Amino acid sequence: MTQDEMKKAAGWAALEYVTKNSIVGVGTGSTVNHFIDALATRKEEIKGAVSSSVASTERLEQIGIKVFDANDVASLDIYVDGADEINAQFNMIKGGGAALTREKIVAAIAEKYICIVDNTKQVDVLGQFPLPVEVIPMARSFIGRELVKLGGDPVYREGVVTDNGNIILDVYNMAITDPKAMEDSINALPGVVTVGLFAHRGADVVLIGTPEGTKIIEK
Ligand SMILES: O=C(CO)[C@H](O)[C@H](O)COP(=O)(O)O
């Protein structure tokens, strides 16, 4: 089974959590794109979606699913999104697709985060994948110096401007043994918009595409 086939299996398995007449929180990335394809088969039953990126909004609208502004909803039953890494405590690294800020907002609105991943995303310790940090452009050098003090090697993500007009620093060589503490440390830096550590708001259910089929793990 290829990695994309495992992503597809996880994405389609998430349909189980979609309820009638609901507004569904939708993340960003290639695994989520499979979920959006699956959601298309249920579009008459749901009210619509709240999206975490321009890319996902365009994809949802292309298949005829109404996209609501996050300000139009007080809560969401579920938020379905992928991850770049996820540990046994359901803490995640996200932001590989540069959508971490809006993803964190929509995840915060939702009751339940349904994480859809292939089995290559499971790790014991977060940090093999470079940690994305969304930064106000004027703070790029200052934040870079501060991230070095925290033990990382920050690299500017060339040519990328987020949906919010900011830049991304990817922090290499971090072994994040205390994700909540690291999330707090980086969040506290003036100029950081969002750090791609989802520890305070981790996943609630993980659907893992594997060669043997889709594994479901609930908190
Ligand atoms: O956080 C994200 C985007 O900002 C994505 O959910 C994450 O990068 C996983 O993407 P993919 O499903 O393509 O592997």
Provide the CATH number for the domain around residue 36: 3.40.50.1360
Are residues 117 and 185 both part of a single domain? Answer: no
pLDDT given for residue 19 in this prediction: 97
Q: Are residues 105 and 186 in the same domain?
A: no
Q: Are residues 79 and 171 in the same domain?
A: no
| Pair 114, 35 in one domain | yes
Looking at the structure, tell me whether residues 69 and 162 fall in a common domain: no
Clarify whether residues 190 and 205 are in a common domain.
no
Cβ–Cβ contacts within 10 Å for residue 172, how many? Answer: 14
Q: Which residues line ligand 1 (CB under 6 A)?
A: 27-31, 81-84, 94-100, 103
Give the rounded distance of the alpha carbon of 39 from its chain centre. Answer: 18
- Is 0.90 topped by the overall pTM? yes
pLDDT interval class at 24 (50, 70, 90): very high
96 is in an annotated binding site: yes
User: For residue 77, how far is its CA from the centre of ligand 1 (angstroms)?
Assistant: 21
Note whether 112 and 173 are within 8 A (CB): no
Separation of alpha carbons 106 and 99, rounded Å:
11
| CA 63 to chain CA centroid, nearest Å | 22
- Is residue 95 part of an annotated ligand binding site? yes
Indicate if the pLDDT at residue 219 is higher than 90: no
Catalytic residues: 103
**210 assigned binding-site residue:** no
Angle at the Cα of 117 (from 112 to 118), degrees rounded to 5? 160
Regarding whether 147 and 104 lie in a shared domain, the answer is no
Kindly report the average pLDDT of the chain as a whole number.
97
Rounded average pLDDT over 23-52: 98
The tally of domains found in the chain comes to 2
Domain of 56 in residue numbering reads as 3-122+200-218
> What pLDDT is stored for residue 59 in this prediction?
98
Q: Which of 8, 53, 84, 131 to mutate to test the pocket of ligand 1 (most atoms within 8 A of CB)?
A: 84
Mean pLDDT of all residues in 10-36 = 98
How much of the chain exceeds pLDDT 70, in percent? 100
Give distance in angstroms: CA of 64 to centre of ligand 1.
Answer: 23
